[in-house]
Protein backbone atom coordinates (compact mmCIF):
# COMPACT_ATOMS: atom_id res chain seq x y z
CA UNK A 1 0.00 0.00 0.00
CA UNK A 2 1.30 3.44 -0.90
CA UNK A 3 -0.47 6.76 -0.34
CA UNK A 4 0.37 10.46 -0.48
CA UNK A 5 -1.13 13.00 1.89
CA UNK A 6 -0.72 16.64 2.84
CA UNK A 7 0.17 17.42 6.43
CA UNK A 8 -0.30 20.75 8.17
CA UNK A 9 2.67 21.21 10.49
CA UNK A 10 4.06 24.11 12.50
CA UNK A 11 6.46 24.72 9.59
CA UNK A 12 3.68 24.86 6.99
CA UNK A 13 2.18 22.42 4.52
CA UNK A 14 4.16 19.31 3.62
CA UNK A 15 3.59 16.50 1.15
CA UNK A 16 4.22 13.07 2.68
CA UNK A 17 4.23 9.50 1.45
CA UNK A 18 2.91 6.70 3.63
CA UNK A 19 3.61 3.10 2.76
CA UNK A 20 2.99 -0.32 4.17
CA UNK A 21 5.35 -3.04 2.97
CA UNK A 22 4.74 -6.78 2.73
CA UNK A 23 6.20 -7.32 6.21
CA UNK A 24 3.58 -4.99 7.65
CA UNK A 25 5.98 -2.15 8.42
CA UNK A 26 4.42 1.29 8.20
CA UNK A 27 6.68 4.07 6.96
CA UNK A 28 6.02 7.80 6.53
CA UNK A 29 8.48 10.01 4.73
CA UNK A 30 8.39 13.67 3.84
CA UNK A 31 8.54 14.29 0.10
CA UNK A 32 8.67 18.09 0.03
CA UNK A 33 7.36 21.36 1.43
CA UNK A 34 4.42 22.99 -0.30
CA UNK A 35 5.39 26.62 -0.85
CA UNK A 36 3.18 29.57 -1.70
CA UNK A 37 0.42 28.81 0.78
CA UNK A 38 -0.19 31.81 3.01
CA UNK A 39 -2.63 30.13 5.36
CA UNK A 40 -4.51 26.90 5.87
CA UNK A 41 -7.15 25.81 8.26
CA UNK A 42 -8.63 22.48 9.25
CA UNK A 43 -12.35 22.06 8.92
CA UNK A 44 -14.40 19.15 10.22
CA UNK A 45 -16.11 17.09 7.54
CA UNK A 46 -19.54 18.24 8.69
CA UNK A 47 -18.67 21.87 8.00
CA UNK A 48 -17.80 21.06 4.41
CA UNK A 49 -20.99 19.07 3.93
CA UNK A 50 -23.06 21.89 5.36
CA UNK A 51 -21.34 24.38 3.06
CA UNK A 52 -22.01 22.16 0.04
CA UNK A 53 -25.67 21.80 1.02
CA UNK A 54 -26.01 25.56 1.33
CA UNK A 55 -24.46 26.04 -2.11
CA UNK A 56 -26.81 23.45 -3.60
CA UNK A 57 -29.81 25.16 -2.00
CA UNK A 58 -28.70 28.53 -3.36
CA UNK A 59 -28.27 27.08 -6.83
CA UNK A 60 -31.70 25.49 -6.64
CA UNK A 61 -33.26 28.78 -5.54
CA UNK A 62 -31.54 30.57 -8.41
CA UNK A 63 -32.89 28.01 -10.90
CA UNK A 64 -36.40 28.39 -9.48
CA UNK A 65 -36.18 32.17 -9.70
CA UNK A 66 -34.98 31.93 -13.29
CA UNK A 67 -37.86 29.60 -14.16
CA UNK A 68 -40.33 32.00 -12.55
CA UNK A 69 -38.91 34.90 -14.57
CA UNK A 70 -39.17 32.89 -17.77
CA UNK A 71 -42.77 31.94 -17.00
CA UNK A 72 -43.62 35.56 -16.27
CA UNK A 73 -42.06 36.66 -19.56
CA UNK A 74 -44.04 34.01 -21.42
CA UNK A 75 -47.27 35.20 -19.79
CA UNK A 76 -46.50 38.78 -20.74
CA UNK A 77 -45.81 37.77 -24.32
CA UNK A 78 -49.07 35.83 -24.46
CA UNK A 79 -50.96 38.84 -23.10
CA UNK A 80 -49.35 41.10 -25.68
CA UNK A 81 -50.27 38.69 -28.46
CA UNK A 82 -53.85 38.53 -27.24
CA UNK A 83 -54.05 42.32 -27.12
CA UNK A 84 -52.68 42.58 -30.64
CA UNK A 85 -55.21 40.03 -31.88
CA UNK A 86 -58.04 41.93 -30.20
CA UNK A 87 -56.89 45.18 -31.78
CA UNK A 88 -56.71 43.55 -35.20
CA UNK A 89 -60.22 42.15 -34.78
CA UNK A 90 -61.51 45.60 -33.87
CA UNK A 91 -60.09 47.02 -37.08
CA UNK A 92 -62.02 44.48 -39.15
Domain boundaries, the chain: 1-65
What is the Cα gyration radius of the chain?
30
Task: Quote the pLDDT of residue 72.
Answer: 96
With H, G, I as helix, E, B as strand and everything else as coil, classify residue 74. Answer: helix
User: What's the distance, Cα to Cα, between the start and end of the chain in Å?
Assistant: 86
In terms of pLDDT, which residue wins out, 92 or 9?
9
Q: How far apart are CA 38 and CA 76, in angstroms?
A: 53
Task: Quote the pLDDT of residue 58.
Answer: 93
Whether the predicted pLDDT of 62 surpasses 80: yes
Contact present, 33 and 13 (Cβ < 8 Å) = yes
Amino acid sequence: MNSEFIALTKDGLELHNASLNDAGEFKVEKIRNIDGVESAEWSPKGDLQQQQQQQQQQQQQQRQQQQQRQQQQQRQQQQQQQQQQQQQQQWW
